[in-house]
Amino acid sequence: MLSIFRKKKVPRRAELLSNNIGFDVLPAKTLLSSALSEGVDWPHRCKVGSCGTCKCKIISGKIKPNIDFSYTLKKEELDAGFILACQSELISDIEVEIDLNQKKEKK
């Protein structure tokens, strides 16, 4: 009976502004994992929030961080709105800026 009062989880939309790329992010999936599954060549290395390679800047929208980003990002980056895509779930549609041309490092 109480299930009718729960909010239905729906996919959210992510837009990469500087690259004109958009894709859906499913509930409980991270921004990075959704981008990669959609074929976006997003720079990344560790996928656990320790390297900072997947960082991007939020222009609009809200996320749920899965870890404390201050472990990896500098205070100035946090103050400027940077997040780690590998540890971010969307709670609204989002617009971000990312440099897809930055060097990718793989393990």
CA distance 18 to 71: 27
The pLDDT value recorded for residue 103 is 52
The pLDDT value recorded for residue 88 is 98
Contacts of 1 (CB under 8 A, 6+ apart): none
Contact yes or no for 16/97 (Cβ under 8 A): yes
Q: Spell out, as residue ranges, where the chain has pLDDT lower than 70.
A: 1-7, 101-107
The pLDDT value recorded for residue 105 is 46
The pLDDT value recorded for residue 82 is 97
Model confidence, pTM: 0.86
Kindly report the number of other CB atoms within 10 A of residue 32's CB atom: 23
Domains of the chain are 10-97 (3.10.20.30)
The pLDDT value recorded for residue 37 is 97
3-class SS at 77? helix
The pLDDT value recorded for residue 8 is 72
